[in-house]
Amino acid sequence: MKEIKFLKINELNQNKENNDFYANTIPNHLVSNHSRIERPHKHDFYAVFLFTKGKGIHEIDFNTYEVKSGSIFFLYPGQTHSWTLSDDIDGYLFFHSKEFYELGYVTNSIKDYPFFESNHTSKCHYFDEKISDELENILKSLLTEYETSQWKKKQLILSYLTQLYIKINRYIEQDSSLEFNQLRHYQNL
């Protein structure tokens, strides 16, 4: 049995000055990192994938999820995942370290967002076209900023991340019987 590969974020950020954050479209990521991600693997970073087109299967820690337009996936460091995707797959992804997010804010923590930290919440959610389009627009802005060398780049990326995380959390909470505020309380104990 082969050992599961553990990917580090700096392996993906070739020729970038920041090794704590990475963003791309899913098709471009698949092409440029095919040899690293063709088998089940783990990450040393947080990962979010929004699929806007295509179909497939995404396996996370031996749980199988359907990939379709409007599906979003959350992985925290150390989770094993793999996928089988259709040729017409499209969407966005971004990865970041805990430090990237938390050092940018004094009062925000990645633990504020239970979709990452809890084993009691699903690692996949399906959004309708309206919500998916809203999230896609934020991700387009985030990717555009990531590809620039503008003043205060990191701060703007953090702003987009926070907008995205807050919106996703609100949509999931509206759709769920699980009260995230109660879950946060028990996580802090």
The model's pTM is 0.86
In whole angstroms, what is the distance from residue 96 CA to residue 11 CA? 13
Per-residue model confidence (pLDDT) at position 120: 62
In whole angstroms, what is the distance from residue 141 CA to residue 156 CA? 10
SS3 state of residue 63: strand
Walk along the chain (189 residues) and give the pLDDT tens digit of each residue.
467 787 888 777 665 666 789 999 999 999 887 666 778 889 999 999 999 999 999 999 889 999 999 999 999 998 999 999 999 999 999 999 988 888 877 677 787 777 776 666 778 999 999 999 999 999 999 999 999 889 999 999 999 999 999 999 999 888 765 555 555 444 454
Per-residue model confidence (pLDDT) at position 2: 66
In whole angstroms, what is the distance from residue 77 CA to residue 59 CA? 15
Do residues 5 and 39 lie in contact, with contact meaning Cβ atoms separated by under 8 Å?
yes
Per-residue model confidence (pLDDT) at position 107: 73
In whole angstroms, what is the distance from residue 124 CA to residue 121 CA? 9
Token pair in block for residue 131? 């919500």
In whole angstroms, what is the distance from residue 65 CA to residue 156 CA? 32
